[in-house]
Amino acid sequence: MKQIICLEPGKFEHREVSNPIAEAGMVILKIKRIGICGTDLHAFEGTQPFFSYPRVLGHELACEIAEIGSTDTHYKTGDPVTIIPYFNCGTCIACRNGKPNCCTTIEVAGVHIDGGMGEYMKVPAYSLIDGFGLNTDQLAMVEPMAIGAHAVRISEIKKNEYVLITGAGPIGLGIMAIAKLRGAIVLAMDVNNERLEFAKTNFNVDYTLNALENPAEQISKITNGEMATVVIDATGNKRAIEGGLEFLAHGGRMTLVGIQKESFSFNHPEFHKRETTLRSSRNATREDFDLVVENIRNGKLNVSALISHRVPFDALLELFPQLLNPQMGVIKAIVELD
């Protein structure tokens, strides 16, 4: 089968490898779509943490079942599926406490182990997500939306709560969409006015803020001086993370979704006087995937709006560097294999 491997930062290569074999407990998937995510882009740039080379990228997948090696499944050949691409041990302290998304020995497809950037992929049967009722584009968008659903859920967002989401990339936009489903009053902040307009047009955010235009004053005015009770960072930018406290209400919660490789810090008196709750949000759980699939099926999540670029699999090596160019206006690029 055909496969694309990232040998080192800035270098991809096509290769021919043997088709995977369906062992007990495993399923062979035929890949139909691959979403290009920030992890893939950062891996190509050489700025992705938790990463080693060479690596087959790709974990935002739309698939159909090609072969079943597990008897413990209700699926059959040809069924449309996507996967939870975070393979966990099931026995560590995190797994035992219902947090397989941060398993101590987690293996994320396309990061710790090879992903789905090829014609076929072998996965554990337990990782399958039923894709009936979703088209291939929608299936490829389930995983990034589940990241947003997880961040919203653990942030304990309530109806009519002011929620500031910094970063209007695909993950940030997903967080905005899910937060709106929870009934939040959503403030979207970015430095890119086109992204902000996209968020308002496609995901009905309540307010848009340019981070370079005195956002603290605007947030204070919107919230009658109380500021946002929830701040969620989807930038991974050190300056944005450290600056988030300025926008947070007393008694508020901060959730960090974007990953920063360096250390960051807060002014402790400012952090302390708010009795700030600070948490990170890593990956997602089946509960989050199920929520996303349900809301795509019932038409409440328009995930197809996020897809701005399409790339044929055979042209990916040539076109991938262009996806990093801000002038291309990429929101979400999808690799097509059919």
Q: What is the pTM of this model?
A: 0.95
Q: 70 pLDDT exceeds 90? A: no
Per-residue pLDDT for 71 more than 90? no
Is 67 within 8 Å of 19 (Cβ atoms)? Answer: no
Please give the mean pLDDT across all residues of the chain: 94
CB contact set of 21 (below 8 Å; sequence gap of 6+)? 28, 69, 122
**Residues 170-189: pLDDT tens digits?**
999 999 999 999 999 999 99
So what's the pLDDT on residue 216? 97
Mean of pLDDT values over 301-310: 94
Domains and CATH numbers, the chain: 2-140+302-336 (3.90.180.10), 151-280 (3.40.50.720)
Is-contact 116 61, C-beta < 8 A? yes
Contact between residue 137 and residue 35 where contact means Cβ atoms under 8 Å apart: no
Token look-up 């810090």 returns: 265
Lowest mean pLDDT among 36-50, 53-67, 82-96, 268-282: 36-50
Q: 216: helix, coil or strand?
A: helix
Average pLDDT of the residues in 48-59 = 87
